[in-house]
Amino acid sequence: MGFLGFLISGISLGSIYAIIALGYTMVYGIAKMLNFAHGDVIMVGAYICFFAVSKYHLPPLVGVLAAMAVCTALGIVIEKLAYKPLRQATSLAVLITAIGVSYFLQNAALLLWTSSPKVFSNPFIRQTVNEAGKKIKITGFQLFDGQLRISYVTVVTIVVCLVIMAALVLFTGKTKMGKAMRACSEDKGAAQLMGINVDTTISVTFAIGSGLAAIAGVLLCSAYPTLVPTTGSMPGIKAFTAAVFGGIGSIPGALLGGLLLGIIEIMAKAYISTQMSDAVVFLVLILVLLVKPAGLLGKKVREKV
């Protein structure tokens, strides 16, 4: 029963990585850049939700929507101010800028919200009254006579991830804007010749990725409640790893990479060593990339003459 519990935790953690990895992979696919500030957008989203709920006593759902709105706007602004002027620059210049934006967001958060940790209150709880008439909070349910405990946040995370994936597959496959995004990610010049405004399309991509980062931030902090200005950086790097693992630029790859990464991490923590879990994760990544350099579902670069 332990194994099943670990597997579910792994899938849940992996779902969060997958949602973050989508932002990396979509932006990479279209703008051919690694947006290392993506992890910090997660942190901003979590703070917004935290303040909305704890300080202004708004319902958690409103908090999530506020976080999404702020992060979407933040993503668009970051792209316009920091990356758009570098559209023709070398990829190294863009990479350094992305790292700069990441530090900027972390330090802005430090200035605005200080370094003292905020404790994120888990919104996925049920209040009930026990036999003695006292109010208690239930955070999950139990199966198999209490041998398997699953928290609500775990279930919500997995469901949200699946819904987001399905929505994105529909969006990129069926809608005009979604198809335009795929066209831009394949050939920007040809996309422009179709009448597609590449700048708008890149903006929309950043908006979607950042909106998803806000959701990931709330889910992450519901499961791991300590919120500090550097909260986003490690999950950000892990999710980037997941995106590369699955094949950067590929949306199903982000899901697969995220889930595998989450499962490997939890299994390594459970059966090998808590301290070594990240080492195990990255060892697996290295092995996968040695065999499949484009990632599990990455596109082979094909040339046709």
Partner 1 sequence: MLKASDLNVYYGPIHAVKGVSFEVNEGEIVTLIGANGAGKSTILKTVSGLMRTRGGSIEFLGTGISAAAPHRIVRLGIAHVPEGRRIFTSMTVEENLDMGAYTAPPAELEEDKEAVFERFPRLKERRKQVAGTLSGGEQQMLAMGRALMSHPKLLMLDEPSMGLAPILVEQVFDIIRSLHDAGTTILLVEQNAEMALAIADRAYVLETGRVAISGTGAELARSEQIRKAYLGG
Q: Which ranges in 149-304 belong to alpha helices (H)?
A: 152-174, 176-186, 188-193, 198-223, 233-246, 251-271, 277-291
Residue 250: CB partners within 8 Å, gap ≥ 6? 25, 29, 295, 297, 298, 299
Residue in 132, 195, 286, 300 binding partner 1, rule: CB under 8 A? 195
Closest distance between partner 1 and the C-beta of residue 79, in Å? Answer: 18
CA 245 to chain centre: 15
Nearer residue to partner 1 within complex by CB, 27 or 105: 27
249 or 262: CB nearest partner 1: 249
Q: Which of residues 152-171 bind partner 1 (CB under 8 A)?
A: none
* Under rule CB under 8 A, residue 128 binds partner 1: no
CB 33 within 8 A of CB 91: yes
Least distance to partner 1, CB of residue 203, Å = 14
Q: Give dist(CA 34, CA 242) in Å, integer.
A: 13
Nearer to partner 1, 131 or 303 (CB): 303
Instruction: Give min distance, CB of 37 to partner 1, in A.
Output: 27
CA 189 vs CA 23, 185, 194: distances in Å? 23, 10, 9
Tell which one of 190, 276, 279, 287 touches partner 1 (CB under 8 A): 190
Using the rule CB under 8 A, give the single segment among 99-107, 187-195, 205-213, 275-283 that binds partner 1: 187-195
Cα→Cα distances 251→112, 162, 266, Å: 34, 12, 23
Q: Under the rule (CB under 8 A), what is the footprint of partner 1?
A: 176, 179-180, 182-183, 186-187, 189-198, 299, 302, 304-305
